[in-house]
Chains A and B, each alone.
Chain A
Amino acid sequence: MDRDQDDCRARFQRWIEPLLEQAGAYAYSIVGNPPDAEDSVQEALWKGYRGMSGYDSSRPFKGWWFAILRNCCLDLLQSRSRQPRVLSEEEVGHRMACTNPQTEALRDSMASLAEPYREILRLRYFGGCSYRDLAESLSIPVGTVMSRLHAARQALAAEFAKE
């Protein structure tokens, strides 16, 4: 049983490792700052590892884990709304230094869209998800991914055209 647990852990680490940077970007697109994004990814790591027994290996792992990550990000946003994080001046300065204007403009434009469009665009652009991953993460068929992503892009293009 210990060997099974070690195998499971090694497998989980192998699958997670190439996803970490995209996970960081995706979490950032939701929570809006690197420290909270890091916290969300860490929480999702633990939850994903503990939930491995419930993962069906025939389904896309990235889509499965990013659904967990999204929930962790949303939970953190809820907790921040109840108890805001108070930052030191150094953290504020560091956060401002890390802010990319184009990235923030994209985040702001996405934030003004309807939730289904916002979610699929975040997963696609920040998370780098394929259509299969999108279908798994959002629990929708691939055909719906196609039509929703196209509609979301048109909505985002309209937002950008306003600027």
Chain B
Amino acid sequence: MGSIDPSELSASLDGELPAEACDRVRAALAADDSLRKQYEQLMALDAKWRSAASGAQFRPNVQLENPKSRIVPIAVLGCALLVVRLAIKAPPPAIGAAIDCVLLTLMVSWGFGRILRFAESDREQVRFSPQTGSVV
């Protein structure tokens, strides 16, 4: 293969060689027919493999959740309702009950959210029934 290292052929194909080494490879290819043939074969295989690998590309449906984007407005709402509830000494029963319900719902939701986040670290494997197609 003349004066170049065989691995420099691959690196040249990948565009990963510094300029000086690229020039050496180019000169060696121009001077040696068998080397040029090997390079062309490598180029053809590389194109074939890249084309085959591109068939696997897909965009996974993933997300990086920001809990704050949901928690902050909910927390602000919860605090505001609590302040209102405490400030009004004798609220009408319906309004008092409504505020109590919303506060209770927010607290329970927050509690479940914490439990679910803890449980996510031990996610169960999803199992489907082949017969019914439903989750087992």
> Chain B contact residues (Cβ within 8 angstroms of A): what range?
35 or more
Pick from A21, A105, A126, A131: contact of B59, CB under 8 Å:
A21
Residues of chain B within 8 A of A59, CB atoms compared: none
A146:B128 contact, CB within 8 angstroms: no
Contact B50 A125 (CB under 8 A): yes
Count of interface residues, chain A, beta-carbon cutoff 8 Å = 52
Q: What secondary structure prevails in chain A residues at the interface with B? A: helix
User: What residues on A are CB-neighbors of B51 within 8 Å?
Assistant: 102
The 9 closest A-B pairs by CB, nearest first: A100-B55, A103-B55, A88-B133, A150-B7, A102-B52, A125-B53, A150-B10, A38-B60, A106-B52
B64 touches A28 (CB 8 A): no
Using CB atoms and an 8 Å cutoff, list the residues of chain B in contact with chain A. 6-11, 14, 16, 41-42, 45-46, 49-64, 66, 68, 125-130, 133-134, 136
Name the one of B7, B63, B68, B129 contacting A149, with C-beta atoms under 8 angstroms: B7
Q: Which of A8-16, A60-68, A111-119 contacts B (4 or more CB under 8 A)?
A: A8-16
A103 touching B53 in the complex, CB below 8 Å, given contacts A20-B60, A86-B128, A90-B133: yes
Q: Is A91's beta carbon under 8 Å from chain B?
A: yes
Is the beta-carbon distance between A28 and B58 smaller than 8 angstroms?
Answer: yes
